[in-house]
Structure 1
Amino acid sequence: MGGKFRARPGCVVQAYKFALDPNAGQERALRSHCGAARAAYNWAVSWVTASWWQRKAEATYGIGEEELTPWRPWSLPALRKEFNRVKSTEARFADWWQENSKEAYSTGLANAAAAFDNYAKSKQGKRKGYRVGVPRRKPKRKARLACRFTTGTIRVEPDGRHVTLPRLGTIRTHEPTVKLLDRIQAGTARILSATVRHERGRWFVSLQVETAREITRVARPDAVVGIDLGVKHLAVLADSSGEIRYEPNPKHLDGALKLLRFHSRRVSRRQGPDRRTGQKPSKRWEKANRERNKLHHRVANLRTDALHKLTTRVRAEYGTVVVEDLHVAGMLRNKRLARHVADAGFGEIRRQLTYKGRRNACPTIVANRWYPSSKTCSNCGATKAKLPLHVRVFDCDECPLVMDRDENAARNLVALAAACTTGTGVAGDQGADTAPKPRGADRKTRRQRPGRNTGRGGRAGGASLPHQRRKETGDRRQDTEAQPALW
């Protein structure tokens, strides 16, 4: 089907995701493959950790280190070799392992190998982020249904409405696959793998494709935009030409809360499942639960659609985008803000802006987490020591500027892009706030006068250098400036 794929220097790997409409038999096969992946994962976790517990028990008997049970490896080749040895004899696999593709078991073993690698790197301090614990078995009621195919027959059918997967056969898609089919027939795309997943009440297939993508020129390649995310307004955009744009927050979850409360009360009044007593749910409970889940899925789909439209529109217009490094996990610990922050999707906005910028070869600048964009005056550069969240208007103490705090923050983010390239302006003089604190000092913002920290209004004046300011204030810290991350 189509011409032969011709690799080009501009080839990228991207995914094409389509909803599926499987029949009853195909859905049973999909669930069987995903269950096989979960069973292989649980077997790998149990097989590796069994040697850990055995060594721990032997150590209590006074057995020397040399005589302890050897560690079992968790690399993918080792797990595959051991699994192929025991799959025909072990009781949990002997009767049904032949019903599914070998790719289902490879999916579970690969996930287990990655989980143990993440745990080892986290324990050794080689992995960023939160501490990763020992991999645990996946319970059937909570595990996400997913399976990945890397070999076998994976193709998009010429009719544009079906995909073919190994052992699953030809499955109808809910939406046309013409977008990918045209690239494959033109010889500019090649399918690498396919992943089936059950989420939001539907089955999806994600086809990982190597394709030749041409760089699309944005409408204003020299323009810079600073984006301040918030709850009142989803985003406040300030560009280098001085234009300000407010993006309203759709608040999809807030609009559905009244109906969600009604459905939740109806579900709670019917006979649901109880694992302690083995009680099965009634038909009326299952029907009510489906209606409630359908509403949750609709809210999630609306949110995803709105975020994609926003980020695509921004990336198609501006050449450089400046965003903040928000501590979203910390915001979710605030019980008064958690629901609104989660509904806004701050982390997803930054992720989409970053990868969509790579498509057009446009940079994304991420401001330092401790950069006081809301507390700094965008006119004179003075910095407030405190600015509570309930104060929505920024009133500068040094100049007559009175402005919405979100608009002021967006203007400061635009200045950050200029500071990255020229080394001047408000954003370039944040070394005093971002330098290492060997004595354990806090990260509180100190009040700064405009003469010490010039902004866009004082950029032409004689701004003092960072090491000169430290000498005047008697600060002995190293002359270290925190550079924002640039992709």
Structure 2
Amino acid sequence: MEALARGLKNWADSRGGARAGRVVRFPRFKSRRRTAPSVRFTTGAIRVEPDRMHVVLPRLGRLKLHESARKLARRLDNGTARIMSATVRRGGGRWHVSFTVEVERAERAPARPRSVVGVDVGIKHLAVLSTGELVDNPRHLAAAHQRMRSLGRALSRKTGPDRRTGRRASKRWERAAARAGRAHARVAHLRRDGLHKLTTRLAREHATIVVEDLNVVGMLANRKLARCVADAGFAEIRRQLAYKTGWNGGRLLLADRWYPSSKTCSGCGTVKTKLALSEREYTCEACGLVIDRDRNASLNLAALAAEFDTVGSGPVAARGADQKTRVRGQVATKREPGTASAGQTGTVPPQGRTTNRVFAKAH
């Protein structure tokens, strides 16, 4: 009932304009055969046993855990955490229990209190830092693609369910579906583990992290890059950094999606009018700088932190607005007729003309 009430409220707020983001549809009935079984407990006996290997849940009783719950039990014993609810869910052939916990966190400070790092995410390298570090992209989905295709073909040869005729799935289909589900779950778990390790390390080491506000939904519309973009998890990196920087006493700055981080020279500030995606090295015609394209973008993102401090809380760009970030530094003088700088539209304005600075800060 609580989930239904939350769904109705989200639908009503979206319909009335009180909820931002995508349009929320009216809640639909979910069949128990086509959704992951789950149950949420908010009242009753919910506790962790002293041996850290068992939990007690309402109606289900005492359950043995595959992994130790010593971290949660230690916080509960010290009085720094309180369990609000517990959710039992089945996924990937296993049953999982997750707790919603109210935690008292001590104030933390990053290991480098004055460190500023720009993070440019990509497909060739998952992240390129302004410090020069290259984080490899593990490509978990690509590594398991052949096996998942084989499991999918095996599943298609079995007799599956038919909603029109009411036909039930065969036992072989259920076993094949379970194998395919475990393969998908393994890829998701590997991706989540790698992203958590990366974002946790960045949030603990650096005080200020600058990333781009990428249009991930638009990138997924490209059928040639959609699989690689989804496998990398660009939006998940930003989401995890948003709350982990707050936990560790840092801050996350978002560069507007119109900011030309790849087209701007990190040495002199010259902005190229065009830069093809196939050009992996940035060559500045003004100062002669030759640098890796992603490294150049990360240096420009790191430099935005100083401008953000100068502007302060400043103007925040509305999502979906036409307002674009001011081009930093000088603009290249040699241009083809009809081209424009990355921060403008139409013809190129005079050299002295500037536009508003646009930043977005994550909370």
Q: Which band: TM-score by shorter chain?
A: 0.7 to 0.9
The one of 100, 125, 137 equivalent to 1:208 is 100
Query: Residue 253 of structure 1 contacts residue 299 of structure 1 at CA under 8 Å; is this kept in 2?
Result: yes
> Is residue 165 of structure 2 the alignment partner of residue 289 of structure 1?
no
Query: Residue 147 of structure 1 contacts residue 196 of structure 1 at CA under 8 Å; is this kept in 2?
Result: yes
The one of 46, 52, 57 equivalent to 1:160 is 52
2: distance between equivalents of 1:112 and 1:482? 39
More displaced, 264-273 or 293-302? 264-273
More displaced, 225-234 or 354-363? 354-363
> Is residue 118 of structure 2 the alignment partner of residue 226 of structure 1?
yes
> Is residue 28 of structure 2 the alignment partner of residue 136 of structure 1?
yes
Q: 1:302 to 1:150 in 2, by over 3 A?
A: same
Q: 1:268 to 1:129 in 2, by over 3 A?
A: same
2:289 alignment counterpart: 401
Q: 1:190 to 1:232 in 2, by over 3 A?
A: same
1: distance between equivalents of 2:174 and 2:84? 39
1: distance between equivalents of 2:329 and 2:359? 22
> Is residue 154 of structure 2 the alignment partner of residue 275 of structure 1?
no
1:260 alignment counterpart: 148
Query: Residue 323 of structure 1 contacts residue 350 of structure 1 at CA under 8 Å; is this kept in 2?
Result: yes
More displaced, 149-158 or 385-394? 385-394
More displaced, 218-227 or 266-275? 266-275
Q: 1:148 to 1:288 in 2, by over 3 A?
A: closer
Q: 1:125 to 1:397 in 2, by over 3 A?
A: farther
1:482 alignment counterpart: 358
SS of alignment partner, residue 314 of structure 1: helix
| Deviation for aligned residue 1:271 | 2.3
Per-residue CA deviation, residues 415-452 of structure 1 (Å, 9 max, x unaligned), is 0111111349xxx9xx9xx7999xx9x67999x79436
SS of alignment partner, residue 372 of structure 1: coil
The one of 191, 209, 233 equivalent to 2:83 is 191
Which structure 2 residues correspond to residues 72-91 of structure 1 after superposition, within 5 A?
A: none
List gaps (5 residues or longer) in structure 2.
333-347
With normalisation by structure 1, the TM-score equals: 0.65
| Deviation for aligned residue 1:357 | 1.0
Per-residue CA deviation, residues 165-185 of structure 1 (Å, 9 max, x unaligned), is 112211111111111112222
More displaced, 273-282 or 301-310? 273-282
SS of alignment partner, residue 244 of structure 1: coil
TM-align CA RMSD: 2.9
List gaps (5 residues or longer) in structure 1.
1-108, 454-469
Query: Residue 160 of structure 1 contacts residue 181 of structure 1 at CA under 8 Å; is this kept in 2?
Result: yes
1:343 alignment counterpart: 231
Q: Which amino acid in the other structure matches residue 484 of structure 1? A: A
Q: Which amino acid in the other structure matches residue 319 of structure 1? A: A
With normalisation by structure 2, the TM-score equals: 0.86
Query: Residue 10 of structure 2 contacts residue 24 of structure 2 at CA under 8 Å; is this kept in 1?
Result: yes
The one of 358, 366, 371 equivalent to 2:254 is 366
SS of alignment partner, residue 348 of structure 1: helix
Query: Residue 435 of structure 1 contacts residue 480 of structure 1 at CA under 8 Å; is this kept in 2?
Result: no
2:41 alignment counterpart: 149
2: distance between equivalents of 1:124 and 1:275? 35
1:92 alignment counterpart: none
Per-residue CA deviation, residues 99-141 of structure 1 (Å, 9 max, x unaligned), is xxxxxxxxxx222222222222222222111122222222333
Query: Residue 256 of structure 2 contacts residue 324 of structure 2 at CA under 8 Å; is this kept in 1?
Result: no
Q: 1:363 to 1:233 in 2, by over 3 A?
A: same
The one of 308, 333, 340 equivalent to 2:221 is 333
2: distance between equivalents of 1:481 and 1:398? 24
2: distance between equivalents of 1:260 and 1:211? 39
Q: 1:445 to 1:137 in 2, by over 3 A?
A: same
Q: Which of the pair has more CA radius of gyration?
A: 1
Q: Which amino acid in the other structure matches residue 173 of structure 1? A: L
SS of alignment partner, residue 359 of structure 2: coil
> Is residue 137 of structure 2 the alignment partner of residue 249 of structure 1?
yes
Which structure 2 residues correspond to residues 2-81 of structure 1 after superposition, within 5 A?
A: none
SS of alignment partner, residue 144 of structure 2: helix
1: distance between equivalents of 2:70 and 2:106? 19
SS of alignment partner, residue 114 of structure 1: helix
Query: Residue 324 of structure 2 contacts residue 358 of structure 2 at CA under 8 Å; is this kept in 1?
Result: no
> Is residue 199 of structure 2 the alignment partner of residue 314 of structure 1?
no
1: distance between equivalents of 2:153 and 2:26? 38
- Structure with the bigger percentage of helix: 1
2:308 alignment counterpart: 420
The number of aligned residues is 346
